[in-house]
Structure 1
Amino acid sequence: MAQKAVCRLAVIRSMMTRTSGTSTTGSVLQTNFIKPNQRLWLQQCSSYSSDQGSASIFNIQDSDDFKDRVLNSKIPSVVDFHAGWCAPCKMLAPRLEKAIEGTKGKVQLAKVDIDENTDLAIDYDVSSVPTVLAVKDGKIIDKFIGLQEAHSLKLFVENLY
């Protein structure tokens, strides 16, 4: 939890600095662009979510990462194709995380941002978000599109183990 707070603070500090201005009020708050040497560190910070201590919930970085962590995994996976601008995705995420946490490591959750991983979205025929896949032994065994109730998600996840 402390790392999450430190990362949030670092992101805010990297984007905002106080500079002296010509106004009579003193300093002016000004937005800056993120410096290239900060991008990797901020990317790592932005991958933190409410699953801070959980190794069974993670963000997919690219196609190779997806292959390694989902398709080649011995642990069944729920794959959440989402977008930052999607309101139903934002509502589904905590429900999915809660369902995954209830499995105590028997199922993992891979989060795929379709804006950052368009090739993966195309490869898996994602035409709307949220789209959620159930993957076991490298094969898709179930799928749903759209927001679901918590009890439906629990059953969806339990069918993987």
Structure 2
Amino acid sequence: MFSRSLYRLASHTIKERVSVSSRNFGTTCTTRAAFNVQDNEDFQDRVLNSPTPVVVDFHAQWCGPCKLLGPRLETIIGGKGDKVHLAKVDIDNVSDLALDYGVSAVPSVLAVKDGKVVDKFVGLQEESRIEAFVDKLIGE
């Protein structure tokens, strides 16, 4: 009897989450501009060859400051529409890219425009600093 009650509760909770997330799915603007870099070729295609400026977030799953910076970047970049994109690079999955771009600490964030790194910062930043960083990249 206990296991059936627990099952019903878990089932109900899952249905609630699905229903809540499906209602909010269409209103999220951050997912359009953000993507995970899979490998060097993907980075070349989606970042270096992009006609749109790209903010590149080098991060790691185990990095506490990265977990705080990621949502800040997504919110700010998501608010810019199609003017800028966010590329997320997990240094544990694509370590060659981190080496190629001299990433020695995470989070490290690069601004890439026309295939070239034009600005960067390392570490957790305040939202106003990130906003200024992105605005400078897109020319606002």
TM-score range, shorter chain: 0.7 to 0.9
SS in 2 for 1:105: helix
SS in 2 for 1:144: strand
1:93 equivalenced with 2:74 (yes/no):
no
The equivalences for 1:101-112 within 5 A come to 101-112=78-89
> Structure 1: which 5+ runs fail to align?
1-24, 27-50
Match of 2:106 in 1: 129
Superposition deviation, residue 105 in structure 1: 1.3
Gaps of 5+ in 2: 4-27
Q: 1:81 corresponds to which letter in structure 2?
A: F
- What TM-score results when the alignment is normalised by the length of structure 1? 0.67
Larger helix proportion of the pair? 2
TM-score scaled to structure 2, two decimals?
A: 0.77
**Which whole-Å CA distance do the structure 1 matches of 2:36 and 2:71 have between them?**
14
- Aligned counterparts of 1:53 and 1:76: Cα–Cα separation in 2: 15
Q: CA shift at 1:146, angstroms?
A: 0.1
Corresponding residue to 1:155 among 129, 132, 140: 132
Identify the match of residue 67 of structure 1 among 37, 41, 44. 44
Matched position secondary structure for 1:135? strand
Distance in 2 (alpha carbons) for counterparts of 1:78 and 1:87: 20
Ranges of 4+ aligned residues in structure 1 off by more than 4 Å? none
**Structure 1 residue 76: deviation in Å?**
0.0
Higher relative contact order (CA 8 A, sep 6+): 2
